[in-house]
Structures are given as structure tokens and as C-alpha cells.
Amino acid sequence: MNLRDWFDSSFSGRGKAIGLEWDGAEYTFGEVDARGNRMARALAARGLVKGDRVCVYLANSIEMIDLYLACVKSGLIFVPINILYRDREMSHILGDADPKLLVTAADFPALLAAAATQSGERLPDCGLCANDPAALVYTSGTTGVSKGAILTHHNFAVNGKNLVESWRITAADRLLLAPPLFHVHALGNGLHGWLLAGCRMRLLERFDHTTVLAQFQDFQPTLFFGVPAMYVRLLDTPPEAAREIGRTMRLFVCGSAPLPAQVLEEFRDLFGHTILERYGMTETLMNISNPYEGERRPGSVGLPLPGVVVKIVGPDGNEVTAGETGELWLQGPNVFPGYWRREDASQAAFVDGWFKTGDIGSRSADGYYTLSGRKSDLIISGGFNIYPREIEEFLMEQPEIVEAAVIAEADRVRGEIPVAYIVWREGAVPAEIESRCREKLASFKIPRRFESIEKLPRNALGKVQKHLLCPVS
Ligand code: MLC
Ligand code: AMP
């Protein structure tokens, strides 16, 4: 099934029901649908046709939803770009995705004005197939260069159906959505869950820990999706307010990075809810989830979602037995077909039809999966992925730096933060190194400390031994 048909059947009969709250205003599903149709016509008027890429560099907003719906409805490929990215990071994506249109906040008023002159009536059929790409979502590869994961209508539809059924999302829910729509967490789970279930959603521009409590109190959601850093922030909620929120909430879901068992337990004491932890990836959307009914096991990501097949493979390429550790390989209708225009990387990502996640974990005798690490030195900070090599390459472009290594350090709120170890050219330690990083890199990638070191520890083959610098504790 393609998403357009599915959204249409979800919209039908709900035209007058309030579907969206954004920036203090309410919108019916009929208005959300018509806005998408108008935007689709405005894009068509600019000459965009099925298969063209639309890069979108926007913070969460109703306009981002308009654009997503417009793309889905007309077979355009939606390419969200992390709003925290700077020119250097964006230019790679723009070159690679080769879009017909880039939409930023600056161009938005003109596009919106054009959309306002269009009809909101149902669009003509555009011959969509289930395997047509709906989005390219860029994910930093182990090489430091990001690759566009092609996500089809079918990938998103299967994922959405799985989540709506597994997490019992219904039209009666009230979803408070705070994570950024440029990642699959908010896009694939939040936006699709909302549209497929036909519930009411209040969209926030971002998770701001100073105002989110007031949002909970005012909106009284039943459903919340967050990364662990958000749950750590919510632990600061005064006990009485937390209990009050807990009374109207139905389900808190967490993912994108490991949720420490202690946070799950402290959260349960405070809010009276056991967070449901699940595991996903840009390339596969959601794979494994703790059950809605049944044991939500602290420290575990749960059981495979319907249709997802998981095997754990040891270093010799053979499947290991329960309790043993190895790399998680996956198959399922949620798994992406490959990377955009990267045949080499796509081939390297699969073995005999199995997608190699790069995540290390084990399965218990009763079928629960636990993740214990990653094959690459990927750092996940607040749910945002950071490939050390990208930062190291930038640092080594600085004339004062001989070499640099970036590693993860444990952080109470963000899980991990990047720290740089730097070998400086003699006598040169520029104070402005941090501001140079800030100018060129997304804020979450900026090393939180710069440690000077005489030389980097290397093994006999010359490979940097990062574990000797400062292990994540
Ligand atoms: C973070 N920052 C933002 C921002 N999010 N700035 C603007 N808009 C946003 N949406 C920046 C701030 O500028 C700041 O930079 C730093 O991040 C921390 O901000 P903070 O206010 O102190 O926030 P904090 O309480 O630390 O929480 C950060 C956070 C953010 C949790 C809100 O990390 C976040 O939104 N994470 C969600 C990431 C996500 O959705 N990942 C899903 C990937 S998909 P500075 O420099 O001032 O410190 C995936 C698959 C799966 O992984 O399984 O889901
Ligand atoms: P991304 O490439 O941004 O989609 O990030 C996907 C990665 O996030 C996965 O490969 C995991 O390493 C990590 N991840 C997602 N959910 C969890 C979780 N519940 N626990 C631990 N790691 C997770």
C-alpha cells in the first residue's frame, strides 16, 4: 500500500475532527489534508514531477507537515535536512540528493503564498506504487560522509501499521510530539502514527526542557515519544506535577539511544509509568520493541515487531545462540532498499538479503534483545548521531593541528558527548578552536572539551587506540 491511499482513508470521515494543534491554533483533518493538496499544487506549478527530490531545511512546523503531505501525495521524494547543520554539512546533502527544490524558512513565505492561491481539492492520481521512494533520510556513514537512506512508501506504511497496532494508538489518543521531524523518530513514528491512527497531535517546534512541563500540563497528552535525554530532563519534574501528568498519560515510548535502566526506574517512581523502550534505525525504521502488554524489561529493547526477522551473528559470520553476543542482522518489509546513488555502500550494507545493523547485542532465552554496543565508534548525543571521523577531519584541516581523535564521554543528560584529543603544532593552541567548530559544524557535534596531548596512542599497525584516551564509563 502507498502512503497516499492510507492517509486518504484515514482522513476520510474525519474531516471535521481536530487533528493538529500548532502554535496555539487548531486544525481539522480536513484542513490538514487541504493544506497538503494546496502545497502539492504549488510544487507542481514550480515544475516538480514525481520522483523529483525536495530538500527541506526547516524546524518542526505546520509548514513542514504541508510539505511532507504534498510530497507523499504527488510522488515527490522528501529529503529532510537537520536544521542544526551548517553550510559544510548541507552542501554535501544538496550535491548528493540533487534536488529540484530546496525549501528553507527564508523561501517559505513565497511558497505558502503560492499554495494559498491553489485549490485544496483532492489531487489527480499520480500512479504511486508501494515501492516508490517517499523520502531520503541522510544518515552519517562510517566514512563520515552521510548517505541518503531510501525509504519507500511501503517501508513507512509497514512501520506505521506495526506501531499503531503494537502500541495501541487510536483516534482517542493525544500525541505531544517534540522530537525533530527531520529524523525518522518523529517522522516515521510520530507523524505517521498520528495520521494513520487519526488522533489529535500537538506539535512542538522542539523539546525545550524549560517549557515542556507546561506543554504537558496544558495539552494533557496520552502519548509521548522521546529520546533518553528528554526523559532525563523530565526527571526534574516536581513529584506532584509528575503524578498529575501520569494520571492522563497512557504511554511513554523511548528510543534512538540506550535508555539507562536507572532512568526507567526513577521515571516509573515519579510518573507511575514504565517507559516502553524500542529500537530503530534510519535504514530500517522500527525493529524491536518492548511489549505494550507484558513485561517492559529495563535495559532491553524487547521483542521483534511483526514481520521483522532478527539474527545475531558472530565474528565468523555464523548465528550465535541465546545469551551470546554478536551483530544484529535484520530482514523485513520495514528495511530500506539501499542508499541513494551509492551502489557500493548499499551492497556493503547487506549479506544475502540481511541488513547488517552495526549494533551489537544478545537475545535472552525468552526472546528479549539487549543492545550492548556498536561496531563503529559512532557517538549518540541526545539522540543525534556523530561520526568522530567527520569532526576529526575538520580539526585536522586547521593549520595548528597535527592530529586529532574524537571520542565519547558519558554524560548524564545526553548519554554521550564528544571530546577531542588534539596534538598541536608547537606553541600553537588557538583559543578560538571551539568557535571555528561552531561556525562549521552542527551544535551537537562540537567537542565539549579539547584535551591537549603530546601524541595519540597507536598500535603496531599505526591505528589510533581510542580506548586508551578516556573510555566511556
Ligand atoms: C538540540 N538543539 C537544538 C535542537 N535540538 N537547537 C535547535 N533546534 C533543535 N531542535 C541544540 C541546542 O542548540 C543546544 O546546543 C543543544 O542542542 C542542547 O540543547 P538543550 O536545550 O540543552 O537541550 P537538551 O535538554 O540537552 O536536549 C537536547 C534534545 C535534542 C534532546 C532536545 O538532543 C534532541 O532534540 N534530540 C532528538 C534527536 C532525535 O530525534 N534523534 C532521532 C534520530 S532517528 P548547544 O551548542 O547550545 O549546547 C533514530 C532512529 C530511532 O535514531 O531509533 O529513533
Ligand atoms: P540513526 O542512524 O540516527 O537512525 O540511529 C540509529 C542507531 O541508534 C541504531 O543503530 C542504534 O545504535 C541506536 N539506537 C536506536 N534505538 C536504540 C535503543 N533503544 N537503544 C540503544 N541504541 C539505540
Q: How far apart are the first and last CA of the chain?
A: 45
Q: Is the pLDDT of residue 463 over 90?
A: no
CB-based contacts of 13, cutoff 8 Å, min separation 6: none
* Equal CATH topology for 3-271 and 378-468: no
1: confidence class by pLDDT, cuts 50, 70, 90: confident
CATH fold of 378-468, please?
GMP Synthetase; Chain A, domain 3 (3.30.300)
Q: Is the CB of 164 under 6 A from ligand 2?
A: no
pLDDT tens digit string along 354-368? 999 999 999 999 999
* Of 235, 218, 334, 328, the residue nearest 275 (C-alpha): 235
* Mean pLDDT of all residues in 406-415: 96
Q: Is the CB of 301 under 6 A from ligand 2?
A: yes
Q: Is the pLDDT of residue 42 over 60?
A: yes
Q: Is the CB of 31 under 6 A from ligand 2?
A: no
Q: What angle do CA 239, 189, 446 make, to 5 degrees?
A: 75
CA-209 nearest atom, ligand 1 = 25
Q: Cα(204) to centroid of ligand 1, in Å?
A: 13
Q: Cα(416) to centroid of ligand 1, in Å?
A: 12
Average pLDDT over all residues of the chain: 95
Q: Cα(382) to centroid of ligand 1, in Å?
A: 6
As a CATH number, domain 3-271 is: 3.40.50.12780
Q: Is the pLDDT of residue 471 over 60?
A: no
Q: Is the CB of 157 under 6 A from ligand 1?
A: no
Q: Which listed ligand is nearest to 282 at the C-alpha?
A: 2
Identify which of 86-90, 104-108, 287-291 has the greatest average pLDDT.
287-291
pLDDT tens digit string along 245-288? 999 999 999 999 999 999 999 999 999 999 999 999 999 999 99
pLDDT for the residue numbered 141: 53
User: Given ligand 1 and candidates 85, 330, 384, which is best to mutate, with the most ligand atoms within 8 Å of its CB?
Assistant: 384
Whole-model pTM over 0.75: yes
Q: Is the CB of 443 under 6 A from ligand 1?
A: yes
* Mean pLDDT of all residues in 78-95: 95
Q: Is the pLDDT of residue 334 over 80?
A: yes
Q: Is the pLDDT of residue 376 over 70?
A: yes
Q: Is the CB of 264 under 6 A from ligand 2?
A: no
Q: Cα(115) to centroid of ligand 1, in Å?
A: 31
User: Given ligand 1 and candidates 57, 60, 84, 391, which is best to mutate, with the most ligand atoms within 8 Å of its CB?
Assistant: 84
pLDDT for the residue numbered 460: 80
Q: Is the pLDDT of residue 470 over 80?
A: no
404: confidence class by pLDDT, cuts 50, 70, 90: very high
Q: Is the pLDDT of residue 143 over 60?
A: no
Looking at 41-50, 138-147, 388-397, 429-438, which range is the least confident one?
138-147
CA-444 nearest atom, ligand 1 = 17
Nearest CA to ligand 1 atom 6: 84
The ranges assigned to domains in the chain are: 3-271, 378-468
Which residue matches cell numbers 489518543?
Answer: 173
In whole angstroms, how far apart are CA 334 and each of 207, 229, 331? 27, 26, 8
Q: Cα(414) to centroid of ligand 1, in Å?
A: 9
Alpha carbon 431 to its chain's center: 34
Asked if 196 contacts 2 with a C-beta cutoff of 8 angstroms, the reply is: no
* Mean pLDDT of all residues in 396-401: 92
| Euclidean distance between CA atoms 305 and 166, whole angstroms | 8
The fraction of the chain above a pLDDT of 70, given in percent, is 98
| Euclidean distance between CA atoms 140 and 75, whole angstroms | 25
Q: Cα(279) to centroid of ligand 2, in Å?
A: 6
User: Given ligand 1 and candidates 156, 176, 207, which is best to mutate, with the most ligand atoms within 8 Å of its CB?
Assistant: 207
Q: Is the pLDDT of residue 144 over 90?
A: no
pLDDT for the residue numbered 459: 85
467: confidence class by pLDDT, cuts 50, 70, 90: confident
| Euclidean distance between CA atoms 308 and 50, whole angstroms | 30
Q: Is the CB of 287 under 6 A from ligand 2?
A: no
In this structure, the strands spanning 251-254 and 223-226 are parallel
